[in-house]
Amino acid sequence: MKIQKFLTWIQDILLNYPDISFITTKIFIQEFYKCLTDKEKERNRLIFQVISEMTLQQISLDSAILHSKINNFEHTLNNIKKDDKIVN
């Protein structure tokens, strides 16, 4: 029951605070997992494994998107600099 409440809490946090990072969410999950008894850990190991994997994939996706945006901004900046040199 406490795992269900925790997962509901995490879901509410992610829906109500979209700017919270997935790394922070992963830390919440890892710390909660440490507080479980061995029996609870074993019973719910798969759930936490899936959550961790999804979080890692989201972090990787966020990093790829950020890298792409930076590359686009650099390309645009270089074009602006090139256009500025032509005008001057």
**pLDDT tens per residue, range 9-23:** 877 777 677 677 777
Do 48 and 33 touch, CB atoms closer than 8 A? yes
Question: How much is the CA Rg of the chain, to the nearest whole Å?
Answer: 21
Structural domain including 6 reads 2-87
Q: Decide if pLDDT at 25 tops 80.
A: no
What letter represents residue 60's amino acid?
A: S
Instruction: Count up the domains in the chain and report the number.
Output: 1
Q: Nearest 5°: CA angle at 26, between 13 and 54?
A: 95
* 63 vs 76: which has the higher pLDDT: 76
Residue 64 token pair? 């790829």
Residue 21 pLDDT:
73
**pLDDT tens per residue, range 26-68:** 788 788 888 888 888 888 777 777 777 766 666 666 677 777 8
Residue 23 token pair? 């790394």
Residue 1 pLDDT:
66
Residue 53 pLDDT:
73
Residue 22 token pair? 């997935």
